[in-house]
Amino acid sequence: MTQMLPLNDGRSIPQLGFGLWQVPAASTAETTATALRLGYRLVDGAAAYGNDAGQGEGIRASGLPRDDIFVTTKIWNSDQGFDKTLRAAEASLKRLALDHVDLLLIHWPCPGKDLYLDTWRALIRLREEGRARSIGVSNFQEPQLTRIIGETGVTPALNQVEINPRLQQPVLRAFHAKRGIVTQSWTPLGQGHSFDAEPIRAAARRTGRSPAQVILRWHIQIGAAVIPRSTREAGLRENLGLFDFTLTEAEMATIAALDEGQRCGPDPTRFEMD
Protein backbone atom coordinates (compact mmCIF):
# COMPACT_ATOMS: atom_id res chain seq x y z
CA MET A 1 0.00 0.00 0.00
CA THR A 2 2.87 2.39 0.77
CA GLN A 3 6.53 2.60 -0.11
CA MET A 4 9.34 2.62 2.43
CA LEU A 5 12.22 5.11 2.51
CA PRO A 6 15.57 4.10 4.01
CA LEU A 7 16.79 6.05 7.05
CA ASN A 8 20.47 6.78 7.72
CA ASP A 9 20.41 4.59 10.87
CA GLY A 10 19.65 1.38 8.98
CA ARG A 11 15.92 1.47 9.63
CA SER A 12 13.18 2.52 7.20
CA ILE A 13 10.03 4.64 7.29
CA PRO A 14 6.73 4.48 5.39
CA GLN A 15 6.77 7.29 2.84
CA LEU A 16 3.10 8.00 3.53
CA GLY A 17 1.51 8.42 6.95
CA PHE A 18 -1.21 10.53 8.52
CA GLY A 19 -1.00 13.47 10.89
CA LEU A 20 -2.90 14.17 14.10
CA TRP A 21 -2.51 17.94 14.51
CA GLN A 22 -5.89 19.50 15.33
CA VAL A 23 -7.61 16.13 15.49
CA PRO A 24 -9.89 16.45 18.54
CA ALA A 25 -8.67 14.41 21.52
CA ALA A 26 -12.10 12.80 21.90
CA SER A 27 -12.03 11.33 18.38
CA THR A 28 -8.30 10.66 17.96
CA ALA A 29 -8.52 6.98 18.91
CA GLU A 30 -11.24 6.40 16.34
CA THR A 31 -9.47 8.38 13.60
CA THR A 32 -6.22 6.53 14.29
CA ALA A 33 -7.82 3.08 14.31
CA THR A 34 -9.76 3.87 11.11
CA ALA A 35 -6.65 5.11 9.31
CA LEU A 36 -4.66 2.04 10.33
CA ARG A 37 -7.45 -0.28 9.21
CA LEU A 38 -7.61 1.53 5.85
CA GLY A 39 -3.91 0.82 5.30
CA TYR A 40 -1.82 3.62 6.84
CA ARG A 41 1.19 2.38 8.79
CA LEU A 42 2.60 5.66 10.14
CA VAL A 43 0.95 7.89 12.77
CA ASP A 44 2.44 11.36 13.26
CA GLY A 45 1.67 12.79 16.69
CA ALA A 46 3.18 15.19 19.19
CA ALA A 47 2.91 16.03 22.87
CA ALA A 48 1.70 19.49 21.85
CA TYR A 49 -1.31 18.09 19.97
CA GLY A 50 -2.90 17.05 23.27
CA ASN A 51 -4.21 13.80 21.80
CA ASP A 52 -1.44 11.25 22.33
CA ALA A 53 -3.51 9.11 24.71
CA GLY A 54 -5.97 8.65 21.81
CA GLN A 55 -3.07 8.00 19.45
CA GLY A 56 -1.97 5.06 21.62
CA GLU A 57 -5.52 3.85 22.13
CA GLY A 58 -6.20 3.87 18.38
CA ILE A 59 -3.02 1.90 17.73
CA ARG A 60 -4.16 -0.81 20.13
CA ALA A 61 -7.74 -0.73 18.81
CA SER A 62 -6.51 -1.31 15.23
CA GLY A 63 -5.61 -4.87 16.19
CA LEU A 64 -2.36 -4.61 14.19
CA PRO A 65 0.90 -5.91 15.64
CA ARG A 66 2.83 -3.03 17.26
CA ASP A 67 5.85 -3.70 15.04
CA ASP A 68 3.78 -3.09 11.90
CA ILE A 69 3.06 0.51 12.94
CA PHE A 70 5.50 3.41 12.78
CA VAL A 71 4.77 5.81 15.65
CA THR A 72 6.16 9.35 15.74
CA THR A 73 6.01 11.85 18.57
CA LYS A 74 7.77 15.13 19.30
CA ILE A 75 9.34 17.02 22.20
CA TRP A 76 7.62 20.35 22.75
CA ASN A 77 9.50 23.66 23.07
CA SER A 78 8.97 24.09 26.83
CA ASP A 79 10.53 20.64 27.40
CA GLN A 80 13.81 21.42 25.70
CA GLY A 81 17.05 20.81 27.63
CA PHE A 82 18.69 17.48 28.52
CA ASP A 83 16.86 16.45 31.71
CA LYS A 84 13.52 17.98 30.78
CA THR A 85 13.56 16.15 27.47
CA LEU A 86 14.25 12.80 29.13
CA ARG A 87 11.30 13.41 31.46
CA ALA A 88 9.03 14.65 28.64
CA ALA A 89 9.77 11.56 26.54
CA GLU A 90 8.87 9.28 29.45
CA ALA A 91 5.64 11.23 29.97
CA SER A 92 4.77 10.88 26.26
CA LEU A 93 5.40 7.14 26.35
CA LYS A 94 3.19 6.89 29.42
CA ARG A 95 0.32 8.75 27.72
CA LEU A 96 0.76 6.67 24.57
CA ALA A 97 1.00 3.55 26.77
CA LEU A 98 3.87 2.31 24.60
CA ASP A 99 7.36 1.21 25.61
CA HIS A 100 9.01 2.89 22.62
CA VAL A 101 8.27 5.14 19.68
CA ASP A 102 9.69 4.59 16.21
CA LEU A 103 10.67 8.21 15.73
CA LEU A 104 11.20 10.98 18.27
CA LEU A 105 11.62 14.53 16.96
CA ILE A 106 12.54 17.92 18.41
CA HIS A 107 9.38 19.82 17.39
CA TRP A 108 10.96 23.25 16.79
CA PRO A 109 14.59 24.40 17.12
CA CYS A 110 13.75 27.57 19.11
CA PRO A 111 17.13 29.12 18.31
CA GLY A 112 16.55 31.89 20.87
CA LYS A 113 16.41 29.38 23.73
CA ASP A 114 19.63 27.78 22.48
CA LEU A 115 18.73 24.44 24.05
CA TYR A 116 18.35 22.34 20.92
CA LEU A 117 21.87 20.87 21.17
CA ASP A 118 21.27 19.60 24.74
CA THR A 119 17.86 18.38 23.60
CA TRP A 120 19.51 16.49 20.73
CA ARG A 121 21.94 14.87 23.20
CA ALA A 122 18.92 13.66 25.21
CA LEU A 123 17.40 12.15 22.06
CA ILE A 124 20.66 10.30 21.42
CA ARG A 125 20.44 8.92 24.99
CA LEU A 126 16.81 7.89 24.45
CA ARG A 127 17.76 6.06 21.28
CA GLU A 128 20.56 4.23 23.14
CA GLU A 129 18.03 3.23 25.80
CA GLY A 130 15.61 1.91 23.14
CA ARG A 131 12.86 4.39 24.01
CA ALA A 132 13.06 5.79 20.45
CA ARG A 133 14.16 3.56 17.59
CA SER A 134 15.08 6.53 15.38
CA ILE A 135 15.61 10.20 16.19
CA GLY A 136 15.24 13.34 14.16
CA VAL A 137 14.21 16.96 14.16
CA SER A 138 11.50 19.22 12.83
CA ASN A 139 11.62 22.76 11.48
CA PHE A 140 15.43 22.82 11.62
CA GLN A 141 17.40 25.00 9.23
CA GLU A 142 20.81 24.20 7.78
CA PRO A 143 22.93 25.99 10.45
CA GLN A 144 21.18 24.14 13.29
CA LEU A 145 21.53 20.81 11.49
CA THR A 146 25.22 21.45 10.84
CA ARG A 147 25.74 22.36 14.51
CA ILE A 148 24.10 19.27 16.06
CA ILE A 149 25.81 16.96 13.57
CA GLY A 150 29.18 18.63 14.16
CA GLU A 151 28.88 18.58 17.97
CA THR A 152 27.57 15.04 18.40
CA GLY A 153 28.54 13.15 15.25
CA VAL A 154 24.92 11.95 15.03
CA THR A 155 22.95 12.98 11.94
CA PRO A 156 19.17 13.23 12.37
CA ALA A 157 17.34 10.50 10.47
CA LEU A 158 14.74 12.99 9.29
CA ASN A 159 13.74 16.65 9.29
CA GLN A 160 9.97 17.30 9.25
CA VAL A 161 9.38 20.70 7.64
CA GLU A 162 6.61 22.64 5.95
CA ILE A 163 6.50 21.76 2.26
CA ASN A 164 3.64 22.33 -0.18
CA PRO A 165 3.44 23.70 -3.73
CA ARG A 166 3.83 27.28 -2.52
CA LEU A 167 6.78 26.49 -0.20
CA GLN A 168 8.98 23.89 -1.80
CA GLN A 169 12.28 24.45 0.10
CA PRO A 170 14.59 23.16 -2.67
CA VAL A 171 17.79 24.35 -0.99
CA LEU A 172 17.01 22.69 2.35
CA ARG A 173 15.94 19.50 0.55
CA ALA A 174 19.22 19.41 -1.36
CA PHE A 175 21.11 19.78 1.93
CA HIS A 176 19.09 16.90 3.42
CA ALA A 177 19.90 14.73 0.39
CA LYS A 178 23.61 15.50 0.74
CA ARG A 179 23.60 14.54 4.44
CA GLY A 180 21.33 11.49 4.13
CA ILE A 181 18.42 13.10 6.01
CA VAL A 182 14.88 12.19 4.93
CA THR A 183 12.64 15.19 4.25
CA GLN A 184 9.12 14.78 5.65
CA SER A 185 6.51 17.32 4.52
CA TRP A 186 4.08 18.87 6.99
CA THR A 187 0.97 20.78 5.88
CA PRO A 188 1.55 18.97 2.57
CA LEU A 189 -1.77 20.15 1.15
CA GLY A 190 -0.98 23.77 2.00
CA GLN A 191 -4.47 24.47 3.38
CA GLY A 192 -5.84 23.81 -0.09
CA HIS A 193 -4.34 27.01 -1.53
CA SER A 194 -3.08 25.29 -4.69
CA PHE A 195 -6.08 23.05 -5.40
CA ASP A 196 -7.24 25.48 -8.10
CA ALA A 197 -3.82 26.24 -9.57
CA GLU A 198 -3.78 25.36 -13.26
CA PRO A 199 -0.85 22.87 -13.14
CA ILE A 200 -2.64 20.94 -10.38
CA ARG A 201 -5.98 21.01 -12.20
CA ALA A 202 -4.38 19.95 -15.49
CA ALA A 203 -2.61 16.98 -13.87
CA ALA A 204 -5.83 16.07 -12.04
CA ARG A 205 -7.74 16.10 -15.35
CA ARG A 206 -5.16 13.95 -17.13
CA THR A 207 -4.83 11.38 -14.36
CA GLY A 208 -8.47 11.37 -13.22
CA ARG A 209 -7.27 12.07 -9.66
CA SER A 210 -8.22 14.79 -7.18
CA PRO A 211 -6.10 17.93 -6.68
CA ALA A 212 -5.15 16.60 -3.21
CA GLN A 213 -3.91 13.33 -4.71
CA VAL A 214 -1.90 15.19 -7.36
CA ILE A 215 -0.22 17.34 -4.71
CA LEU A 216 0.52 14.36 -2.47
CA ARG A 217 1.89 12.43 -5.46
CA TRP A 218 4.17 15.40 -6.19
CA HIS A 219 5.60 15.03 -2.65
CA ILE A 220 6.18 11.32 -3.27
CA GLN A 221 7.99 12.03 -6.57
CA ILE A 222 10.29 14.68 -5.06
CA GLY A 223 11.33 11.92 -2.67
CA ALA A 224 9.74 13.36 0.47
CA ALA A 225 7.83 11.45 3.10
CA VAL A 226 4.38 12.93 3.63
CA ILE A 227 1.80 13.03 6.46
CA PRO A 228 -1.54 14.49 5.34
CA ARG A 229 -4.35 14.83 7.87
CA SER A 230 -7.99 14.12 7.30
CA THR A 231 -10.66 13.54 9.90
CA ARG A 232 -13.01 12.15 7.21
CA GLU A 233 -12.83 8.48 6.29
CA ALA A 234 -13.27 9.41 2.61
CA GLY A 235 -10.36 11.87 2.88
CA LEU A 236 -8.13 9.30 4.57
CA ARG A 237 -9.01 6.80 1.86
CA GLU A 238 -8.42 9.28 -0.96
CA ASN A 239 -5.01 10.25 0.41
CA LEU A 240 -3.91 6.60 0.33
CA GLY A 241 -4.32 6.46 -3.45
CA LEU A 242 -0.88 7.73 -4.42
CA PHE A 243 1.05 4.72 -5.62
CA ASP A 244 -0.84 3.67 -8.74
CA PHE A 245 -0.26 6.72 -10.93
CA THR A 246 2.66 8.91 -11.94
CA LEU A 247 3.09 12.58 -12.77
CA THR A 248 5.12 13.28 -15.90
CA GLU A 249 8.37 15.25 -15.82
CA ALA A 250 6.54 18.12 -17.51
CA GLU A 251 3.83 18.07 -14.82
CA MET A 252 6.49 18.01 -12.08
CA ALA A 253 8.14 21.03 -13.70
CA THR A 254 4.91 23.05 -13.88
CA ILE A 255 4.23 22.28 -10.20
CA ALA A 256 7.81 23.28 -9.32
CA ALA A 257 7.03 26.67 -10.84
CA LEU A 258 4.29 27.25 -8.21
CA ASP A 259 6.94 27.80 -5.50
CA GLU A 260 6.59 31.29 -4.01
CA GLY A 261 8.57 30.69 -0.84
CA GLN A 262 5.41 31.52 1.10
CA ARG A 263 4.69 29.76 4.42
CA CYS A 264 1.35 28.63 5.86
CA GLY A 265 2.90 28.05 9.29
CA PRO A 266 5.28 29.98 11.56
CA ASP A 267 8.79 31.03 10.58
CA PRO A 268 11.07 28.49 12.30
CA THR A 269 13.89 31.02 12.71
CA ARG A 270 11.63 33.01 15.07
CA PHE A 271 9.08 30.57 16.52
CA GLU A 272 9.75 30.15 20.26
CA MET A 273 6.26 29.55 21.71
CA ASP A 274 6.10 27.53 24.95
Cα–Cα dist 138/140, whole Å: 5
Q: Is 118 in the site for ligand NDP (CB under 6 A)?
A: no
Cα–Cα dist 62/72, whole Å: 17
Query: Residues 18, 40, 49, 116: which is the catalytic one?
Result: 49
Site track 158-177 with ligand NDP (rule: CB under 6 A), x = hit: --x-----------------
Distance, CA of 224 to chain centre: 10
Can you tell me which of 8, 9, 11, 21 binds ligand NDP, judged by CB under 6 A?
21
- The answer to whether 265 touches 162, Cβ cutoff 8 Å, is yes
Position with the least CB separation from ligand NDP: 19
- Run of H or E residues at 55: helix 52-61
Q: Which stretch binds ligand NDP (CB under 6 A): 6-14, 167-175, 181-189, 253-261?
A: 181-189
Cα–Cα dist 169/175, whole Å: 10
- The answer to whether 257 touches 209, Cβ cutoff 8 Å, is no
User: Of the two residues 169 and 230, which places its CB atom closer to ligand NDP in the complex?
Assistant: 230
Q: Per this entry, what is the length of the chain?
A: 274
Residue 131 sits at the vertex; the CA angle it makes with 129 and 137, to the nearest 5 degrees, is 105
Span 88-117, contacts to ligand NDP by CB under 6 A: 107
Q: Is 49 a catalytic residue?
A: yes
Closest contact distance (angstroms) between CB of 73 and ligand NDP is 10
User: Which residues are CB-neighbours of 63 under 8 A, at least 6 positions away?
Assistant: none
User: Of the two residues 156 and 188, which places its CB atom closer to ligand NDP in the complex?
Assistant: 188
Q: Is 30 in the site for ligand NDP (CB under 6 A)?
A: no
Residue ranges binding ligand NDP (CB under 6 A): 19-21, 44, 107, 138-139, 160, 186-189, 192, 210, 212, 227-232, 235, 238-239, 265
User: Catalytic residue numbers?
Assistant: 49
